[in-house]
Amino acid sequence: MTRLALAAVLVLAHPATVLAQQTSPTGGEVPPAKASDVQSVDAIIAALYDVISGPAGEKRDWDRFRSLHLPEARLIPTGFPQGSDRARARVMTVNDYVTNSGPFLEERGFFEVEVGRVTERFENIVHAFSTYESRWNPDDADPFQRGINSIQLMWDGERWWITNIMWRGVGPEFEIPGKYFKK
C-alpha cells in the first residue's frame, strides 16, 4: 500500500483525530475555534471572559480557551508585591495558565466581566485595554478586584487570534481612570 493510500485510510478511519486541531498562523496546532467566538474583536473578547467564568465546581472548557490563542501566546499578570515599589511580571503560556489557574477558578468560582474598553486598530492588529471587574459569584454586590487586560489580537484573513494578554488587577480602593470605562 502506498503512503498516500495509507494516509487516506487513516483519515477515513479516524477523522476525529485528524480534524481535532486547527493550524494557527504560526504553524502551531490548537483545538478548532467556534466560528462565532473568533469572527470579531467583540466576539473573541466576550469568549475570553465567558470561558474563564463560572460557578464553583463547574469545569471550564479549556479547549475553547486554547482555541482563542496562538499556541505561543503569553499571559502576563503584573503587580507590585506588598511593600515594593518595583513591579513584577509572571510570564505564562496558555497551558501554564490552564494548569496553574484553572483548578482555582473551578474550585472557588470566578466571574469576570468587561466594563469598558479602549481599542486601537492598525490593519490586521488590534490592541484593546479591556477594563474588568471580578466577583466570586455573579450576584455579589461589589467586585473583589478590578483591573485592565491589555489584549493584543491579530486577524489572519479568516479569524481573530489572541497573541498576548498582560493585566494588572487592583483592589476596589484603587481608582481606574474614567477613560478606560468607555465601550
Say which DSSP state 54 is in.
B
Q: If we measure between CA atoms, which residue out of 157, 152, 134 comes closest to residue 54?
A: 134
What would the DSSP string read from start to end of 69-122? EEEEEEEEEEE--TT-SS-EE--EEHHHHHHHHHHHHHHH-BEEEEEEEEEEEE
Place of cell 490563542: 69
Structure confidence at residue 19 (pLDDT): 47
The per-residue pLDDT for 132 is 97
Query: Among candidates 47, 41, 182, which has minimal Cα distance to 122?
Result: 41
Which of the four pLDDT bands, split at 50, 70 and 90, describes residue 173? Answer: confident
pLDDT at 171: 84
Identify the band that residue 182 occupies on the pLDDT scale cut at 50, 70 and 90.
confident
Q: What is the pLDDT of residues 103-118, one digit of tens each?
A: 999 999 999 999 999 9
3-state secondary structure of 29: strand
**pLDDT per residue over 1-37, tens digit each?**
444 443 443 444 444 444 478 999 999 999 999 999 9
